[in-house]
Chain A
Amino acid sequence: MARESEDAGMAKASKVKRQKKKKTKENKTRTVQANILYDNAKGEENPNRHYANNKIKTTKYTVLSFLPKNLFEQFHRFANVYFVFIALLNFVPVVNAFQPELALAPVVFILSVTAIKDLWEDYRRHRSDKEINHMDCLVYSRVERRYVEKYWKEVRVGDFIRLRCNEILPADVLLLSSSDPDRLCHIETATLDGETNLKQRQVVRSFFDLDCDFDPLKYNSVIECEKPNNDLNRFRGYIIHRSGRRDALYKENLLLRGCTIRNTEEAVGIVIYAGHETKAMLNNNGPRYKRSKLERQMNVDVFWCVIILLVMCLFAAVGHGLWMFQYGDKRPVFDVLSPEGTDLSPIMSAIYLFLTMIIVFQVLIPISLFVSIEIVKICQVYFIHQDMDLYDEETDSHLQCRALNITEDLGQMQYIFSDKTGTLTENKMVFRRCTVAGVEYSHDANARRLAMYQEMDSEEEECTSHGGTLPRRDSVTSHQSAPVVLRSQSTKSHRRTGSRAEAKRASILSKHTAFSSPMEKDITPDPQLLDKVNECSSQMDFMRFHSQPMSQLPSDLSDIIDFFIALTICNTVVVSSPNQPRQKVRMRFELKSPVKTIEDFIKRFTPSRLTSGSNSSSSSSLITNRSSNKGCSSMLSSPSAESTLTKLDEERPPRGLDHAFSPVPPCYDGKAWDKEEGELRYEAESPDEAALVYAARAYKCSLVGRLPDQVTVELPHLGKLSFELLHTLGFDSTRKRMSVVVRHPLTDQITVYTKGADSVIMDLIKPPNTGNSKGKRQKKIVYRTQNYLNLYAADGLRTLCIAKKILSKDEYACWLQRHLEAETAIQGREELLFESALRLETNLQLLGATGIEDRLQDGVPETIASLRKAGLQIWVLTGDKQETAVNIAYACKLLDPEEEILTLNADSQEACALLLEESLHYIQAKFLCSSTDQAAKAFHTNFAPFEIYPSSSPSSSSSHTVPFMVHRLGLVIDGRTLAYALDKSLEDKFLAVARSCRSVLCCRSTPLQKSMVVKLVRNKLKVMTLAIGDGANDVSMIQVADVGVGISGQEGMQAVMASDFALPRFRYLQKLLLVHGHWCYSRLANMILYFFYKNAMFVALIFWYQFYCGFSGSAMIDQWYLIFFNLMFSAFPQLITGTLDKDVSAETLQQLPHLYVNGQNSEEYKPYMFWMNMIDAFYQSLVCFFIPYFAYADSDVDLFTWGTPITTLALFTILLHLGIETKTWTWMNWLSITFSIALFFTVALCYNASCPTCYSPSNPYWTMQRLLQDPLFYLLCAITPVAALLPRYFYRACQGTLFPSPVQVGRQLDKLPTEIRRNILSLSRVKVGSPLSPKPPFLSLAKPSPKGCNKKDQRSFPSSNTPPAKKGPVSQADEEKGQRSQVQPSDSVRSHSDLYTLVATEIDTLPYTKDAPTTLGGATASFNQSL
């Protein structure tokens, strides 16, 4: 003990010294030492004392700082400053208009509403902080010499904590010990990145060989690592032992806060980062703030309001000056001197008056507008959240609005940029077919099986949609019932430590776990291939039995077996068993290292024994040598790696091969695994990998265990084979491949298996030596495989090539040396490792290729079709290869077989420029001139661009040219060409081409290119863009777009984290945009316009009065009414309308997607509308002012007895105006309007009865009471609103009849009984192909209804509650139509195309060419004929 403390003391001294040195030298690192060394020193000398502790505080305010800080934040909003300024202006006696205290009321009200909201949010944060801070964990206590329970918040950097299975990590912890024999610790990172597969973390190398329990008291190393940063995938540092030896630390050693320990009984670690310095917290940044287009537009008009305000004030000021001036020196009695008794010159009074008028007219700048908009948006977000149609049963998740303030942008989108994989497709990979050694195995049975699932799926979906909450994955359920009981024990422990919120989130996320459905798992093998596999393995068994070298195997058979071995082992799949969820299947075989020579061989080159980590995506960096400790006098009294090895060696019977296949594995958790063979679960980081492993399993070639240094595979006849895993060169997007280096247990060769994208693998294939037969065969294989690859791609399958390479020992040794150098390099390790991988992956031998299907998500084609009908341009940006992408594009109806496709593939900048130029000419020549039927020929699919030039002669064209018509053209461009096209010099041309195409498909694009494309379109075309994606590669694109949508699918949470809206499925985008976007936009737009109107109307009343009060700034409206009018009397109805008003029903909006154009063109709120509203407001206020004026002219009416009726009239007029603009009247609208009026009268009556002397100067005692007895008051109330609203009402009526907007047509459709409406809608849908349609029908893009469509129709229109047919002309007409449509359908069809000709012009044009007339008539007509 004494020795220990002495040691500790010494260590301390040296550490402190070193730390100081370090600190002065470079401040970029953090030094962590064990806290237990300093327990006595009470923290004074503890070098860790400067680091943040683990207490988290996400609240913004404290009790003291709340008021100043909150106010400070609120004053960042300019409007608030303005209103406070005005309120303060009231305290200046010369200019004041109202009672100063009263004038403060609205500002204080608005500020306090916001403050209360902030306070509440902050309180909730505080509560959750508290909950998290008070979670328990085990921290080592020096005093008690054991781990004691402490709260999370008491954990400090340098503490040792013991983690148990299923515990959530309280801080970022460096893993020092694990109960796992492989010194691994599994964590689930779902709460961080949403990935639900288990990640393996490794004990720090130096502690690797520690056999007994880790003893914190013996620890005295120092850790140096990076400063806290938010990069989840990066951690670097060293651990410096007392001996002076340094060991590198990697991210594989770090356990991050918020993750959950799985599959590991116990782990011990030292806290490196705590509290706010943990990576999880650093990554946690608040919600995003974006300003919507509507708000930008609104701000312009707010600015106009300011101008109007100033003009009005100026006018009044000048008027007042003149009015004063006319009296000259004679001062009339009513012109009161200033309080000091001094006389004011007209100019001075005018200046003072200007300020007064600003106060009086302040209402013109709607103070409550900003608050109201926020309230309405919160309500809108609430309703979007509540929408059942946006709820995904399967994942129990619904749409999340992460950005609260851009809901209305959803209604104004013009361009959609979509990722493909995982967004349009499910990212559920299903193995479809493969080719091995040039022979294709079509897997027909498998295809049939899939087809069956698909049908089942759709049926089931109908069931669930009607029946409610049927779990979809029955087969999984059966697996699970047992485990649930088994797990109760661990559940408890988890519950004790886990934060509810985090656990909840994890539970949601983990439902996304890939590969849970039998569709993906149970692959039906191709009989032919299965036979071959069997034959092959039996032969191998035979050969093994007879000790023949495996090389004698016929090469096609050996290729097959190699192919499957590669599928099985060339991945990072972790095996777990469903009975022990999240428990790694543990089967440790003795390492079959039969050839000592290799071991020696390697030892000659390196001081280390060779091992490899194989566990995670970037495992290449993980590979370090395990036995390096051996050399140094280990400070840990544990059996060294060597001894472990020897132990294993002892167990191993001396003679090699036979014993590699012992029938029962010695340490397989005591379970007869054969019975459960089918139940092994594979957890993969990418679904492709799992798909391939499951596919291999179907051929009895199953992966049964994976350890860092070995992979166990079971083969038919051969039993279990253990491959010594020498290296794993993880997948990265640059190389587009991964490789494993293994020692083949049968042939004993060092073999490299590589799996990757066909384009890269094909380039790496060793050029076959055509001289011998083998070479010829190889060449044939390559040629055939390439053919099949093309075929697969044409089928829309994802292709992967499998290749292998056999290394001679010399080659391997040579490579290994440099690889190890790379690994140990400190500078630029990543680059070196990359190069090292490149050196290895050459001269491969092609084994075969696989085709994996990534199924389209449900409803994708329909969604795309309807979004396109909605006038949205859809661009798909994908990393996939061109053929695959094009095929998926066809499958999801992005490209139409009827349309022509421009393909841009260029090798150089010049070529690209030329291509763009040509395409531009082509488009111009072809489409601008062909308005006649001659263009008919042009409408057929054409993959080769520029072959067909327009056959029509330009002379025949009579149509006017429209700049950027969207033609029936598709553009396909690959990543390389895109890079050229995005160059500054070409981007304009590229855009010109791209924007005239109906659909654009960018293949092989990098994440950066994706975001560049979005940025280009957004900035150059000034359009609203939406980016949707699901993976990390879409993040930049999502961030760049106006609205970013993340699919909370299977690829983790990065996209969701970056997004504004998170959807469970792509198809929900349809309702989100077409319905909610439309509603949010039209509601808000109308509300904002109404706000401007309302305030202008109200303020103008006072303005008119200035003409009759000598421009003195007097107001006939009592200041109470003036100030509370906006805040109380007229506030509720507009909020209700702004939240609930539906111009068109959800069904109709979805059925008639082109109504979306309304929002795209900002139809509801155009700049001129603001001015129209202003004019209307001024007219209405004139009426409301002058009718009472003349009615009371030359009477004995006093100021407020005259002003109160005006206020009342204004209120009525304003509410009725809202009534005209309200499209749906629910009981809430009625209630709110009634409430408003009642409130006004109640307040007025109470106010006028309360105090006879308090409300100077207006002193309205008993005014309202008297007015209510005055018939004149009622007469005024009847006539004024009518006269004021007459023009608007008349205009609306005329508009509704003479030139109804599409939205109004939609509304009329809504009124029809369900049956009839459905008929009409389906007619307008089916009509498309009709040769009779004289004009391009607006729904022309719909294909003659596929089966799914009809089904969907029926679903969305439950006919049960058909309202009774309306009496009257309409209903008669309906019936008539119903009959007629049976007799002569063509007629009704034509009439419907008539009906929509209004919109037909707009549907094929881009939103920004809204005035484009129809020019595509001929073209479309001919297209119709061709159908």
Chain B
Amino acid sequence: MMASSYNAKDEDGHITVSGPGGGTLRSKKPENTAFKQQRLPAWQPILTAGTVLPAFFIIGLIFIPIGIGLYVTSNNIKEFEVTLYDMSGPHQNPFRNCNNVFMYYGLSNFYQNHRRYVKSRDDSQLNGDLESLMKPSKECEPYAYHENKPIAPCGAIANSMFNDTLELFYNDPNGTKIQIPMTATGIAWWTDKHVKFRNPTDNANLTAVFQGTTKPVNWRRPVYELDTDPQNNGFINEDFIVWMRTAALPTFRKLYRIIPKKNSMVPTLLRGNYTLEVVYNYPVRSFEGRKRMILSTISWMGGKNPFLGIAYITVGSVCFFLGVVLLIIHHKYGNRNNSADIAN
């Protein structure tokens, strides 16, 4: 004991005449804080039938109406689909509203999400980097050079760009075909068009800019001849941009044109027969694919897809049902347990 206080004093050099009691000043006694003693105030939910019951019912009650709403919304969307084997022919127009109508082309069995395919692009080149223009990145291999000239735009994605043209004609009851005016801009993301994709220079003469490069192998025209509109030509051609945004799933659609509404009174597409004219360039046989043309309106939740509505209704109902099951369980067993477990 003597030695103990003796040593304790050594540590800080000052001598307190308090015997072992002095040691408590520096004692290793842990602090009595809620955190250190693991006594933080806590919410301790116990999952039993009784306690989770409300959650199930509430979820059910919330989800079912949402589901119904979604389902109705989706059903209100008009959609019209043509498989592009029958090239043309009169089609009945289902649209009667006054909103924009979106024209999509659809491909199935096209694996735009293939790992090597997705990688096969050069974002710097597409962003207008002059160096990348002439020296495409390695990722583009083997679609980086053709005949020792750099390919612009390089890579497999660009190379396989969809190049059919679709035109829609209104079969006037008097026999004439009136081409429906469609806009080719506004179909890509704004950020893509203005940030991600840029022509190498703002020079209007794209031909000069792309001098020294060559077009992708599968393309019929070089990139600077995609459109006549200088704001929609070269890398910032929206059809090109849309194509470059690789689809998530092998069956996909891509926005092709927008049929703008004329005014709030006149339907965008009149009732009647229409003819679709397709310039058939794009081969899909090799992968047993299928081409489609889709006309659709959209709602606040996107295109026509009843799935989410059904899913909400289903999950809501299941929750409700389970809630009922739990209620039964709670009534049958919960009481027994409560009384036995806790309070007699």
Q: Chain A residues in contact with chain B, CB under 8 A?
A: 97, 188, 190, 196, 262, 327, 330-341, 356, 383, 385-388, 391, 393, 396-398, 469, 471, 473, 476-478, 480-481, 483-485, 487-488, 491-492, 494-495, 498, 500, 503-504, 506-508, 510-511, 513, 516, 576, 578, 581-582, 681, 1079, 1108-1110, 1112-1114, 1116, 1140, 1142, 1146, 1187, 1189-1203, 1220, 1223-1228, 1252-1254, 1256-1257, 1259, 1261-1262, 1266, 1270-1272, 1275-1276, 1278-1279, 1282-1283, 1286, 1289-1290, 1292-1298, 1300, 1304-1305, 1307-1312, 1316, 1320, 1369-1370, 1373-1374, 1376-1377, 1380-1381, 1387-1388, 1391-1392, 1394-1395
Assess the A476–B10 pair: CB atoms within 8 A.
no
A1215 to B218, CA, bound (A): 48
Closest 5 CB pairs of A and B: A507-B7, A581-B2, A339-B141, A1373-B343, A1202-B248
In the complex, 20 of the A-B residue pairs with CB atoms within 8 angstroms, ordered by the A residue number, are: A334-B110, A387-B37, A387-B38, A396-B23, A481-B18, A491-B9, A507-B3, A507-B4, A513-B3, A1112-B116, A1190-B311, A1193-B249, A1196-B252, A1256-B121, A1296-B46, A1298-B49, A1298-B329, A1307-B44, A1373-B344, A1392-B344
Having A335-B117, A488-B15, one finds 8 other A-B pairs with CB under 8 Å, namely A332-B110, A477-B20, A504-B7, A507-B10, A511-B4, A1189-B249, A1200-B248, A1312-B343
The reply to whether the CB of B278 lies closer than 8 angstroms to some CB of chain A is no
Assess the B1–A1282 pair: CB atoms within 8 A.
no
A385: chain B residues at CB < 8 Å are: 30
What's the nearest-Cβ distance from chain B to residue A821, in Å?
A: 40
Known: A506-B7, A1194-B253, A1395-B341. A1253 touches B20 (CB 8 A): no
Assess the A471–B20 pair: CB atoms within 8 A.
yes
Query: Which listed residue (B59, B111, B115) contacts A1113, Cβ 8 A?
Result: B115
Of listed B44, B111, B189, residue having the most chain A CB within 10 A = B44
Assess the B245–A1146 pair: CB atoms within 8 A.
no
B139: chain A residues at CB < 8 Å are: 1256-1257
The reply to whether the CB of B50 lies closer than 8 angstroms to some CB of chain A is yes
What's the nearest-Cβ distance from chain B to residue A1316, in Å?
A: 7
Assess the A1114–B115 pair: CB atoms within 8 A.
yes
Of listed B16, B118, B126, B307, residue having the most chain A CB within 10 A = B118
Contact indicator per residue, chain B 135-178, by CB within 8 Å of chain A (1) or not (0): 00111011100000000000010011000000000000000000
Assess the A327–B287 pair: CB atoms within 8 A.
yes
B302: chain A residues at CB < 8 Å are: 1195, 1270, 1272
B344: chain A residues at CB < 8 Å are: 1373, 1376-1377, 1380-1381, 1387-1388, 1391-1392
Assess the B40–A480 pair: CB atoms within 8 A.
no
Assess the A1253–B112 pair: CB atoms within 8 A.
no
Contact indicator per residue, chain B 119-132, by CB within 8 Å of chain A (1) or not (0): 11111101101000
Q: Chain B residues in contact with chain A, CB under 8 A?
A: 1-11, 13, 15-21, 23-24, 27-32, 36-38, 40-52, 55-56, 59, 63, 66, 70, 104, 106, 110-124, 126-127, 129, 137-139, 141-143, 156, 159-160, 189, 191-192, 195-196, 218, 242, 245-255, 286-287, 300-303, 305, 307-308, 311-312, 315, 318-319, 322, 326, 329-330, 333-334, 337-344
Assess the B10–A491 pair: CB atoms within 8 A.
yes
Known: A327-B287, A510-B4, A1377-B344. A1194 touches B106 (CB 8 A): yes
Query: Which listed residue (B15, B52, B337) contacts A1293, Cβ 8 A?
Result: B52
Assess the B248–A1197 pair: CB atoms within 8 A.
yes
Q: Report the tally of A-B residue pairs with Cβ distances under 8 A.
A: 410
Assess the B196–A504 pair: CB atoms within 8 A.
no
Known: A477-B21, A1108-B250, A1373-B344. A1294 touches B329 (CB 8 A): yes
What's the nearest-Cβ distance from chain A to residue B204, in Å?
A: 23
Name the residue on A nearest B157 (C-beta). Answer: A334
Assess the B322–A1252 pair: CB atoms within 8 A.
no
What's the nearest-Cβ distance from chain A to residue B61, in Å?
A: 13
Assess the B253–A476 pair: CB atoms within 8 A.
no
A483 to B104, CA, bound (A): 98
Known: A1116-B113, A1261-B196, A1293-B48. A1282 touches B36 (CB 8 A): no
Assess the B10–A1286 pair: CB atoms within 8 A.
no
Query: Which listed residue (A388, A478, A1228) contacts B40, Cβ 8 A?
Result: A1228
A303 to B329, CA, bound (A): 40
Known: A1146-B38, A1198-B248. A333 touches B159 (CB 8 A): yes
Assess the A1226–B15 pair: CB atoms within 8 A.
no
Assess the A1373–B9 pair: CB atoms within 8 A.
no
Known: A397-B28, A473-B20. A480 touches B5 (CB 8 A): yes
A330: chain B residues at CB < 8 Å are: 286-287
What's the nearest-Cβ distance from chain B to residue A1164, in Å?
A: 16
B126: chain A residues at CB < 8 Å are: 1253
A507: chain B residues at CB < 8 Å are: 3-8, 10-11, 23
What's the nearest-Cβ distance from chain B to residue A746, in Å?
A: 34
B121: chain A residues at CB < 8 Å are: 1256-1257
Assess the A339–B42 pair: CB atoms within 8 A.
no
What's the nearest-Cβ distance from chain B to residue A721, in Å?
A: 28
What's the nearest-Cβ distance from chain B to residue A489, in Å?
A: 10
A961 to B160, CA, bound (A): 76
SS of A interface (majority): helix
Name the residue on A nearest B190 (C-beta). Answer: A1262
A513: chain B residues at CB < 8 Å are: 1-4
Query: Which listed residue (A494, A1109, A1220) contacts B47, Cβ 8 A?
Result: A1220
Query: Which listed residue (B10, B117, B192, B329) contacts A495, Cβ 8 A?
Result: B10
Query: Which listed residue (A327, A334, A1079, A1373) contacts B112, Cβ 8 A?
Result: A334
Known: A396-B28, A484-B5, A1297-B337. A1109 touches B113 (CB 8 A): yes
Known: A1257-B139, A1395-B341. A1192 touches B42 (CB 8 A): no
Assess the B3–A581 pair: CB atoms within 8 A.
yes
Assess the A1279–B10 pair: CB atoms within 8 A.
no
Assess the B6–A491 pair: CB atoms within 8 A.
yes
A510: chain B residues at CB < 8 Å are: 1, 3-4, 6-7
Known: A396-B29, A681-B2. A1225 touches B118 (CB 8 A): no
Assess the B303–A1261 pair: CB atoms within 8 A.
no
Known: A506-B7, A1140-B38, A1376-B343. A1110 touches B318 (CB 8 A): no
B338: chain A residues at CB < 8 Å are: 1369-1370, 1373
Assess the B113–A1114 pair: CB atoms within 8 A.
yes
Name the residue on A nearest B118 (C-beta). Answer: A1257
A337: chain B residues at CB < 8 Å are: 142
Assess the B342–A480 pair: CB atoms within 8 A.
no
B160: chain A residues at CB < 8 Å are: 333-334
Query: Which listed residue (B4, B21, B142, B342) contacts A1370, Cβ 8 A?
Result: B342
B46: chain A residues at CB < 8 Å are: 1296, 1304, 1307-1308, 1311
A1116: chain B residues at CB < 8 Å are: 113, 248
Assess the B44–A1190 pair: CB atoms within 8 A.
no
A1195 to B7, CA, bound (A): 79
B30: chain A residues at CB < 8 Å are: 385-388, 391, 398
Query: Which listed residue (A1220, A1275, A1298, A1387) contacts B301, Cβ 8 A?
Result: A1275
Assess the B343–A1297 pair: CB atoms within 8 A.
no
Assess the B114–A336 pair: CB atoms within 8 A.
yes
What's the nearest-Cβ distance from chain B to residue A481, in Å?
A: 6
A1373: chain B residues at CB < 8 Å are: 338-339, 342-344
What's the nearest-Cβ distance from chain B to residue A344, in Å?
A: 10
What's the nearest-Cβ distance from chain B to residue A888, in Å?
A: 27
B303: chain A residues at CB < 8 Å are: 1195-1196
Assess the B51–A1293 pair: CB atoms within 8 A.
yes
A338: chain B residues at CB < 8 Å are: 142
Name the residue on A nearest B287 (C-beta). Answer: A332
Assess the B3–A1253 pair: CB atoms within 8 A.
no
What's the nearest-Cβ distance from chain A to residue B107, in Å?
A: 10
A1320: chain B residues at CB < 8 Å are: 342
A1142 to B18, CA, bound (A): 41
Known: A511-B20, A1310-B44. A1192 touches B249 (CB 8 A): yes
